[in-house]
Chain A
Amino acid sequence: MKPAPFAYAKARSVEDAVKLLGKHGDGAKLLAGGQSLMATLNMRLSAPSVLIDLNGIAGLDTIAVKDGMVDIGALARHAAVMGSDTIAQHAPLIAMAMPHIAHPAIRNRGTIGGSVAFADPAAELPACFLALNGEAEIAGPGGKRVVGADDFFQGLYETAIGPNDMLTAIRLPAATPDMRYGFAELSRRHGDYAIVGLAASARADGASLKDVRLAYFGVGLTPVRAKAAEAALASGNLDEAVKALATDLDPSDDIQETGAVKKHLAGVLLRRVAAQMSGARA
């Protein structure tokens, strides 16, 4: 399995990358960590005429808290995010998800921007981004714009990032003491893509929860919010929330499990995550 031939260009800046995209059009692909892209090239699922390597762009891997938001540069590697005290303190959901993402050799190369931009429906970070209601900063020919998580995922591997655009950062609301987070996934081997996974956030309101966001992964073409279950959980009825998943989710059968089994597993994960968010042990 070798990729079809392609030209290689190294971008020196975000502007340079956007310019190269404009020049090469649809035949170009952006290369960040490459941990998904290289596999698809090796299997010839994709055959771009030119790869634009983003790894030489300086300053795009910073992690900082600004104005109540955790700002993570698109080229921040998974291993750096996983080891970051800033993430542990201000973005605990990301810290909970990180150990589930692939394996050490892949975390050393893979980037947060690459994962969110690629938008694999079974991946952890796109779901976390949705659960946290984050913002994507996108650079294009017309300059930079910001897209919220609810408008970001549009279809299978389709996002609000246009063909001449580049994701430059994601921003997540920094954790406050009243925020609660939960994360759980089931996979065949630790580090593999999830069969079913759930990333969740909510605001504690006395003993109950409000502003519940449940982002499932591995159950649809994009990360999927379970809105009826969110409402049921906010009203304090976990059993109703689990039942509501029947209308919220419609997973299809795949090589690992049937849709019916995935739906059942989604309920199992909801009970675990609800226990995490209420402070109890799952």
Chain B
Amino acid sequence: MTHHYDITLTVNGERIDGHVEGRKSLVDFLRDDLTLTGSHVGCEHGVCGACTVRVNGEVVRGCLMLAVQCDGAIVETIEGVSDTGEIADLQDAFERRNALQCGFCTPGMLLTAQELLSQTKNGGKVPSRDDIREHISGNYCRCTGYHAIVDAVEAVAVARAGRSS
């Protein structure tokens, strides 16, 4: 027996009406039903962070939340956050510093890093490298070994702090 539910939500600024199976995860809904394939399906039990998206302004694991739970929610994926230019500087820094290779973890890394950076802008303290490492500790990368990612996030933190002061 299958169970389907009607949901209405906002994805990347667009109103979406969906009809989803109760067991469907948010990340599967975004990828399969909306063809927003920037968020990836990795471990599917909350360990790797490849499925990271934002729900009502906060990063969440897309594999540990159901699509049906997002009725009425505002969901943002890497596609939306890229289009608005919100993280253009972070994306530039990742490219400049070779902070990505295969790119599988990168959308989750960017959204997670942006959450840290948005907490510390407006004259706030620039996060230390340890702060950055701890903040991204829930996102696995199997290519770069994190060093370049930490470099990129730190560079943006310093640049943004300089800009806002």
Binding site for B on A (CB under 8 A): 1-8, 31, 34-35, 38-39, 41-43, 51, 53, 55, 79, 99, 102-106, 108-109, 189-191
Contacts and interface: CB of A to CB of B under 8 A. Distances in A.
Contact of B66 (A1, A8, A79): A8
Nearest to A190: B137
Contacts of A34: 64-66, 69
B22 interface: yes
Interface range on chain B: under 10, 10 to 19, 20 to 34, or 35 or more? Answer: 20 to 34
A8 B64 contact: no
Contacts of B115: 104
B63 A38 contact: yes
B164 interface: no
Given A105-B61, A106-B46, 16 more contacts: A4-B23, A5-B21, A7-B3, A7-B22, A38-B25, A39-B44, A43-B45, A104-B59, A105-B52, A105-B60, A105-B138, A108-B58, A108-B60, A109-B60, A190-B137, A191-B134
A162 B75 CA distance: 35
A34 B65 CA distance: 7
B14 to A, nearest CB: 23
Contacts of B106: none
Nearest to A43: B45
A1 B64 CA distance: 12
Given A8-B68, A104-B115, A104-B138, A39 B22 contact: no
11 contacts: A6-B3, A7-B3, A8-B5, A31-B69, A34-B69, A42-B63, A51-B66, A99-B134, A104-B115, A106-B64, A190-B137
* A-side interface mostly: loop
Given A7-B22, A53-B69, A105-B59, A39 B46 contact: yes
B112 interface: yes
B102 interface: no
Contacts of B52: 105
B61 A109 contact: yes
Contacts of B134: 99, 190-191
B46 to A, nearest CB: 5
A48 to B, nearest CB: 10
Contacts of A3: 23
Counting from the closest, the 5 A-B pairs by CB-CB distance are A103-B138, A39-B45, A8-B22, A38-B64, A108-B58
